[in-house]
């Protein structure tokens, strides 16, 4: 992969040492699951139309209208999900240089995030049940600093420095840490 995808944020004489992309299979399984659970509730909306205060009302015009609207919302949601997912996956790259890790992403535009090695205070590798089910040896690596700590999945704070859906997460983290350790010894 060309280094020029990070050219906009590289400093003078800074070189990208390695670039990764998310695993597409794992990403699409995750993305589809998220959208499915978000949209499945729309299928339940027409059910109350089958009843009234006296009990079973039967299939009626209100039911068909509600069902049509819900199907339209679901189809539109799936279409938006595919488009945004494809844009997210197309723009997402992870890398490290001699001095920092880089995350490139976005849906409409391109966003960059970087974390200097000297600020890096914590790393967490997370392999989920979905990672195991997909069987692509994938996971996520979270990098934390004092300003952006690695917190639990359920906290309201979002860590920005994440290599999501990456193949061989333990090997990737080991490679970055080995480089950091070798680089510290030389300086």
pLDDT tens digits for range 58-78? 888 888 999 999 999 989 989
d(CA 127, CA 138): 7
Q: Are residues 82 and 161 in the same domain?
A: no
Is residue 120 within a helix (H) or strand (E), and if so which, with residue range? strand 120-126
Among 61, 86, 111, the domain-final residue is 86
**Residue range(s) defining the domain that contains residue 62:** 34-86
Within-domain flag for 99: yes
What is the model's pLDDT at position 187?
39
Under DSSP, the state recorded for 49 is G
Indicate if 74 and 113 belong to the same structural domain.
Answer: no
Span 122-142, pLDDT tens digits: 888 999 999 999 888 999 998
- Lowest mean pLDDT of 13-22, 31-40, 99-108, 113-122, name the range: 31-40
Among 45, 138, 31, which Cα is nearest to 94's? 138
How many domains in the chain? 2
Q: Is residue 49 domain-shared with residue 125, that is, in the same domain?
A: no
Last residue of a domain, one of 86, 119, 154: 86
State the pairing for strand pair 93-97/16-20.
Answer: antiparallel
Q: Is 109 in the same domain as 176?
A: yes
Residue 15 lies in a domain: no
Work out the percent of the chain whose per-residue pLDDT is above 90: 58
Same domain? 116 vs 81: no
Considering the domain architecture, whether residues 170 and 115 belong to the same structural domain is answered as: yes
Does 102 lie in the same domain as 65? no
Tell me: do 110 and 182 sit in the same domain.
yes
pLDDT in the model for residue 185:
57
Both 62 and 142 in a single domain? no
The per-residue pLDDT for 159 is 67
Task: Judge if 110 and 164 occupy the same domain.
Answer: yes
Better-predicted residue by pLDDT, 153 or 41: 41
Cα torsion 69, 71, 79, 76 to 10°: value is: 0
**How far is it, in rounded angstroms, from Cα 169 to Cα 94?**
12
Mean pLDDT of the chain: 88
**66 within domain boundaries:** yes
**pLDDT at residue 36, as a whole number:** 86
Q: What is the pLDDT of residue 184?
A: 72
Residues 142 and 69 placed together within one structural domain of the fold: no
Question: pLDDT-derived band of residue 156, with 50, 70 and 90 as boundaries?
Answer: very low
Residues 102 and 150 in one domain: yes
| Within a domain: 38 | yes
């Amino acid at each position: 992969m060309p280094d020029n995808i990070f050219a906009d944020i590289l400093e003078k004489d800074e070189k990208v040492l390695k670039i990764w992309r998310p695993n597409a299979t794992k990403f699409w399984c995750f993305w589809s699951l998220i959208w499915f659970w978000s949209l499945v509730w729309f299928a339940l909306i027409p059910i109350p139309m089958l009843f009234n205060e006296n009990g079973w009302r039967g299939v009626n015009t209100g039911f068909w209208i509600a069902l049509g609207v819900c199907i339209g919302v679901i189809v539109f949601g799936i279409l938006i999900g595919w488009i945004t997912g494809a844009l997210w996956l197309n723009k997402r790259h992870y890398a490290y240089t001699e001095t920092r890790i880089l995350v490139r992403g976005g849906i409409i535009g391109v966003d960059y995030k970087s974390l200097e090695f000297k600020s890096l205070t914590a790393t967490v590798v997370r392999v989920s049940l979905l990672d195991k089910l997909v069987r692509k040896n994938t996971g996520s690596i979270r990098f934390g600093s004092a300003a952006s700590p690695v917190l639990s999945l359920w906290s309201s704070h979002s860590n920005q420095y994440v290599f999501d859906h990456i193949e061989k997460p333990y090997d990737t983290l080991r490679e970055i840490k080995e480089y950091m350790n070798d680089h510290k010894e030389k300086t």
